[in-house]
Structure 1
Amino acid sequence: MGESVACPEIVVSREGGILEISIRRPDRRNALTHPMYDAMTAALAEADADPGVRVALITGTEDCFTAGNDMVEFLQNPPKGNDSPVMRFLDQILMQEKPIVAAVNGPAVGIGTTLLLHCDLVYCARGARLQMPFVSLGLCPEAGASYLLPQIMGHPRAAQLLMLAETFTGEQAVEYGLANAVYDDGEYLQKAREACARLAAQPPASVRMTKAFLRQPQRDAVAKQMRAEGDAFLARLGAPEAREAMMAFMEKRKPDFSRFE
């Protein structure tokens, strides 16, 4: 069984064969820190290692999935190398053997959107607002998004969402192929739990094998792209463009990129 990591902002519970991972840091819109990544990685590893767990569910609070990485921490203590907490989390979610279901409401920013690419079923609330603002922050895509998004929705739409950092709704996530269904804000989590219960009742080895067949043809390519993105992302964190973008974000002003080539 995986080793639990104590982190009050990540609440892990279990009911039957469902291991539920709740992101709970509402005062910061569930922004993710290094300890939170470690706790989520440990919980997913526990789900895979425990034969009694059939499926993992990732959700946030009632009005927010996650605002992505905590910008203050990223400026003060940026991740370093492929063994950083965020990279370990991405490696875990890429290689997860058992199915992952996501229940999304409110903001799902940055990795809050790209982690959905590695979930097997995604249920959104009508109030969900998804965004991948990497370029606007002077960064680049992560989590294999630059490989997976064009496959899922085509290059033009992937470029629109990544390069222009446009926000999109739960309904659009379904239209674009990122989510399975959208429900009223009061229903999305229950529908996700119902889907988890149905998965948990299926033959477990067959479910794992089917997930493996669905993921395996592109897993090596995704892993390679994820590593290349990760290296570029970490390098970009110290770039002048990213510093200007992040300082402007924290100072609540419009960034000025006019001096950059």
Structure 2
Amino acid sequence: MFSFCRRLAYAPPVTVTISDHARVRTLVLDRPEALNAFDEALYDATTEALRAAADDPDVAVVLLTGAGRAFSAGTDLLEMHRMSTDPTFQRGKHGFLGLIDALVDFPKPLIVAVNGLGLGIGATILGFADLAFMASTARLKCPFTSLGVAPEAASSYLLPRLVGRQDAAWMLLSAEWISAQEALAMGLVWRVCEPDDLLAEARRHAELLARRPIASLVAVKRTMTEPLREGIAAARARENAAFADLMGGPANLEALTAFAEGREPDFTGM
């Protein structure tokens, strides 16, 4: 069986590690020094990797995970602060919206293995996972209200469908941590594994799927996801408008300034 591994560097030191085995392409978010937080370069790298996997006739399934102790700490808040305050900030080629476009359009099975903490897009990406595995020690958080912003990635539409309205409301409103067992109980993830078993178990299921005809896998996914596309597009439009209204506002600037200064934000009167 053909297998290889390569490391693609898009903007040093940001990398996505890519390996192929048995028609499964594994993508590892590899910015462990920043807990795999997405800056513009990592958004671009992940978008390009997903698009390449979608177009590769030898790839049947994609498995996405993170390097180190985090899956992803979400959007890089230090860069987000610069983006909000520096009019000369240069955005990436694809950015956050490009990654979500790639996830919406990804035609093949996407398996996510949450190996550690997942915040923001590190949690909401599960709305696009066809199967999600999670380490028993991992935790998830949707920190939008603690940042003074709105939901993202159609999570206001996908999460209620995935876990029910009240669990989704708690995740999106509270900005509190969700444990692996809570995520399993609410249906946010499909399996919880011991940390040392996570990738092996996720790969085992990915390779089982990859033995099926790719055209069949694509057809099954399309018939399941096509009815959701209109709702996803509408939710993204609502979320993006709300996010644009709130980003750079008093609560958001207070949250980002507090993060940069290493203190808790003070939302008194907001």
TM-score (norm 2): 0.90
Cα deviation 1:158-180 (Å, max 9, x = unaligned): 11111111211122111111111
1:236 aligns with 246
2:70 paired with 1:49: no
Residues 174-224 of structure 1 show CA distances to partners (whole Å, capped at 9, x for unaligned) of 111111100001001111111111111012111111111111111111122
Q: Distance in 2 between matches of 1:180 and 1:167?
A: 18
Matched, 1:133 2:137: no
The structural deviation recorded for 1:230 is: 2.1
Instruction: Provide the secondary structure at the position in 2 that maps to 1:142.
Output: coil
* 1:205–1:118 Cα change, 3 Å: same
The separation in 1 between residues aligned to 2:135 and 2:228, in whole angstroms, is 29
SS in 2 for 1:65: strand
Would you say the 8 A contact 1:12–1:21 is kept in 2?
Answer: yes
Unmatched 5+ stretches in structure 2: 1-7
- Kindly report which structure 2 residues correspond to 1:135-174, keeping only aligned pairs within 5 A, or say none: 135-174=145-184
Residue 84 of structure 1 deviates from its aligned partner by 4.9
Paired amino acid for 1:73: E
Contact kept, 8 Å, 1:19 with 1:53, in 2: the verdict is: yes
- Is this contact kept in 2: 1:105–1:129, CA < 8 A? no
- Secondary structure class of the residue paired with 1:21: strand
1-side partners of 2:51 and 2:237: how far apart? 20
TM-score by length of 1: 0.93
1:29 correspondence with 2:41? no
Residue identity opposite 1:9 in structure 2: T
Distance in 2, Cα, partners of 1:80 & 1:138: 23
In the alignment of these two chains, the number of paired residues is 257
Tell me the equivalent position of 2:229: 219
Q: Which moved more, 1:148-157 or 1:177-186?
A: 148-157
Residue pair 1:18, 1:196 contacting (<8 A) in 2 also: yes
Question: How many Å apart are 1:5 and its aligned residue?
Answer: 6.8
Gaps (5+ residues) in structure 1? none
**2:120 is equivalent to residue 110 of structure 1:** yes
Question: Structure 1 residue 75 and structure 2 residue 81: aligned?
Answer: yes
Separation (CA, whole Å) in 1 of partners of 2:42 and 2:263: 28
- Distance (Å, rounded) in 2 between the aligned partners of 1:106 and 1:70: 17
Higher percent of residues as strand: 2
